[in-house]
Structure formats: structure tokens, C-alpha cells
Amino acid sequence: MNHFADRLTEKIKSTQNPTVMGLDPMLDYIPESLLQRAKAQTKDSITAIGEALFLFNQALIDATFDLIPAVKPQVAYYEQYGVAGLSALQRTVSYAQEKGMLVIVDAKRNDIGSTAEAYARAILGQSVVGTDENGHPIFKSFMGGDCITLNGYLGLDGIKPFLNECSKNGQGCYILVRTSNPSAGDLQDLILEDGRTVYEAMACKVAEWGDTFIGQSGYSSVGAVVGATWPKQAESLRKIMPHALILVPGYGAQGATADDAVASFGSDGQGAIVNASRSLMLAWKKHQMPIEEFAKAARVEAIAMRDDLQAALLRAGKKIV
């Protein structure tokens, strides 16, 4: 199956869990014992940072890969640590995929022309990494994600290069429509001359751009980001984008409930996946467990989140099938 929306929908069905785990590590999230292990396995302090980030992510993946269908590493959390962080990101993407998880690279890229093409190649496609003995270019995927998050506010010029890359290998993208942050309405709620809000106009574009990417599941690999913090808007956006996969941030640490989150789901209980980052990575605090048991705590919280979302879907009459 070489279609992102179909693959994700099938993974959600098989796990009965519409959850994606955000992997946004900070060094102060990592237990001292793991930091010391990273230092012992590497030659210098810079390399040790990347090793520690990867070991932290690896433990979280090992604890949840049979429960959670996808992970979502946020690129900025790795870029802040330079080359070591980017190395950890590459290893995390590969490891999650080896464990059968889909990887949504949260990059929120946006640009036009050749710059957008370069971004697309770096995260979804293949880039030139050198030449062979005959001077021919060697191509390799820098990141190799299954999906990428995008900012669509430059219009089609900034999206098409990513769509072109997605069409080659059955990958997907999530485009910002109604974000979860408190000031989202400063621009996204502005009223246009035709009476629509800016976010409604963006939703129409996402539906249009994704029309040719609809798979057997009935959902498109061109999806939307719609925050759980705006459940009423989410209900109206689902009607505008009936075939879009929706990535739902805002659950847990940002204050949205499971009932808020399921507003983005289709009537079939499909078509959306809910993100949790800190609430899983730092679950040991909530469950009053030692920090060394962060991965075990993440599994406990992942089960609780799954059950919470399943119950909310039942209350909304949208049981996962």
C-alpha cells in the first residue's frame, strides 16, 4: 500500500488508537542516567547530545510502537542542537519506521520555486549527497519522512513542490488551517469580502489541492492541521474538507479535551489523528513515577489517551471501525 492516507487509516484501525506521539525532546527531559550512558558511548560532548536525544526517543518508541500508529518529531527541537540534533532526528525517523510507525515530520515549511523544491527533497525526497568515482551524483534521502507539515499561506506556489514529491512515493502533507495557539484568530479569523474567514478559505484550498490524492480509504493524503482548542470551528471545517486527514494538536498540555479533539473526525470515526507531545514524554510526572521510568510512564499515558479518545468517539457517535 503506497498511499499515506490509506496507510495511516489502516494503522489507526489496527491499533484502535488515533494518536500520534510528538517527539520534541529537550536535554532537561532526559534522565541523568541516560545522559551518562550517551557520554560513555561517544567521543565528545557534542556527539553525546545527539546520542542522548536519540536514546530518549528510542526508549519512547520501544515502549509504544505497538500502541501508537505514528510519531511526529518537531524539527526545531533538533535544529537547536545543531548537527548532533539533526543526526538524532535522522536516526529517530529511521528507527520509528523500522518499528512499523509512520513518521510525520513537523517542519511547517513554506516557500516558493526552487527553495520549496529543496525543502521537499530534503524531508520527503532525495538530495545529492556526493559523487561516485566516476563523478556521477549520489542521491540519498536526508530525512525520509512519510509526511510533512506545511504552511500554505503563500498559496499553490509554496505547496506544489511538496505535492509533486508526495505523488512520487505515496507520502502525505498536513497544511495549517486553524492552529491551536491562543493568537491564531489574529489573522485566521479575519473576514474576507465573500464572507468567509481566512481559515475557511484555506480549508477550501486544502480540499481542492487534495482532490487528486484521495485513496481507497476515502481520505486524501493532503490533510489539514486543525487545533483541538477550536472544536466548533473544527466541526465546520470537517464539512468543508470531508476527505482531508486532519492532524489535531492541542490535546493534553494545551488544555483541549478528548471531546474537543474528536470534533475533527469524520462520521465514520476516521480521518483524524490527535497529537500528544509533552503529556507523553513527561508522563512520569503525572503518574508520579521516577524519571528513569519515563518510557514506562509514556506507555501508561498512551493507553489512557487511547481509551479517552475511544470513549469520546463513542459519545459523539463516531466509533472507530
Residues with a known catalytic role: 108
Q: Is the CA virtual torsion 56, 60, 63, 66 positive or negative?
A: negative
Q: Across-strand partners of 70?
A: 20, 102
CB of 258 within 8 A of CB of 309?
yes
Q: Is the CA virtual torsion 161, 166, 171, 172 positive or negative?
A: positive
In our burial notation (b when 16+ CB lie closer than 10 A, e otherwise), range 170-184 reads bbbbbbbbbbbeeeb
In 3D space, the residue among 15, 201, 200 whose CA is nearest the CA of residue 101 turns out to be 15
CB of 143 within 8 A of CB of 122?
yes
Cα distance between residue 17 and residue 273, in whole Å: 8
In our burial notation (b when 16+ CB lie closer than 10 A, e otherwise), range 258-285 reads bbbbbbbbbeebbbbbbbbbebbbbbbe
What's the grid cell of residue 88?
538524532
CB of 176 within 8 A of CB of 149?
yes
In our burial notation (b when 16+ CB lie closer than 10 A, e otherwise), range 14-37 reads ebebbbbbbbbbeeebbbeebbeb
Could you give the angle at which helices 82-98 and 45-64 cross, rounded to 10 degrees? 20
Locate cell 504552511: which residue?
A: 151
Cα distance between residue 306 and residue 135, in whole Å: 52
Cα distance between residue 314 and residue 234, in whole Å: 18
Q: Across-strand partners of 247?
A: 225, 273
* CA Rg value for the chain: 19
